[in-house]
Each structure stands twice: as C-alpha cells, then as structure tokens.
Structure 1
Amino acid sequence: MKNIQIIDGAINATYSIFQATEEEYRSIFPNEQDIELVEDFFARLGDDPASLILGRIWERPVRKRDAMGIHGTLFFDNDHRKEYIPQSKRETDWDETLINQAQRNLFSNR
C-alpha cells in the first residue's frame, strides 16, 4: 500500500492521508510521478474510472502519526499552484528557486 496526502482548498487544512493499492497508486501517479492534480487525473482516466479509484481510496484513511511515509501528493482546487508544479510532476524536479539549499542538495543526488 502507498500513502497519498491530499492537498485541497478546504478551510480546515487537514491535508489528510489515504492508502492506495499499488495499482491505484500507479493509475494516479504514472511514469515515476509523485505529484498529481486531480483535474489531470480525471482528464487522463475519465470521470467514471477516476471516481471509482478515488471512492475506494477514500475508504482507507490513515492517521498521520501512523503513516509510514507519504508516497504521493494529490492536489484538489489548486489551480493557482499549477504554474509552480514541475512538468515531470516529480518532487525531485522542483525549480531550485522554490526550495531551500538542503532540498537542492538532497534532490541533486537523485
């Protein structure tokens, strides 16, 4: 199972974590991605398949203290951030001006 953190525009800002099977995870995050916009996910799979996958994932919440890592980030209602997300949708490919030196050092080794 893989853990996905949901970043949405909700006022409560809980940014919940849910578990996905390996297959569900790969359908949301193809090609080594670990970042996805929900709009792009729905556009790629279609409304019914994407809704079915997310419906199953919503049934598997994980408490943050129990999560053994976060494997991917799924953004909802974040069009205003789209221009900052790397084209590859991989955490290691952030623009260097948007991350600190420690992150640049970490990501340069990958």
Structure 2
Amino acid sequence: MFEISVHPETHVIKRFTLTLCNHFTVIDKDMSVPICIDGTIIIDGPDTTECETFMVNLYNNGMLIKLSDEEPKFYYKSGNIIFAISDNGKLTEVYIINLAKTDVNHAKKELYLGIEP
C-alpha cells in the first residue's frame, strides 16, 4: 500500500509514502530509469484504487513499485517520482528515483520489519 498526498486545490503531488509491502525484492544494482516526459504530475481521480499486483523492487539508487502486469507505454516524471501508464491509461508502475544510500537503507529496514518471523 502507498499513499500519495496532493495539494487540496491544485492536486499537485506533495508527498509519496510507501506504507505497507509484503512482496519485495532487494536488488544489488542501480535501477534503470526509462525515458520520460518531465513536468508536474496532477492527481485528480478516486481516493483509493485496487491493483492486481503489488511488488516492490528496491535497488541501490531507487525503488520500482509494480502495480499491474500490463505493459507501460508512457512515463511521466515529476521530481523523483515517475508514473508508468499503459495504453488504456492505467497506472502500471511507480519509480522512486535518485534515492540516497541512507534512504535505501531506511527502506530496507522498514521492508524487513514487515516480515513475520
């Protein structure tokens, strides 16, 4: 599960928070970033949505959250967030890029805390 906080009037993304994840992989290499359109991302849709897939890949420099098995066709970047969208407008992946080593280590610690012993 993740939360996206947006400005109440402009709907521009203010914060992205990964809150819960039971399926993740830690990959000891840098993440490849797709070519994308850079700009401001505005969220104007439902408050919640279900996704058929929820898998996090944590890399040395970022995170890829896979939300769908559909093939992404378009990539839109705002700051350190990239949204991957399918042909039919479905959000398929979210990239969190340019994470510092301390951020990656914090994410690892939080992900591993969610594992039941």
Q: Which has the higher contact order (CA 8 A, sep 6+)?
A: 1
- Give the TM bin, normalised by the shorter chain: under 0.3
Higher helix share: 1
| TM-score using structure 2 length | 0.27
Higher strand share: 2
| TM-score using structure 1 length | 0.28
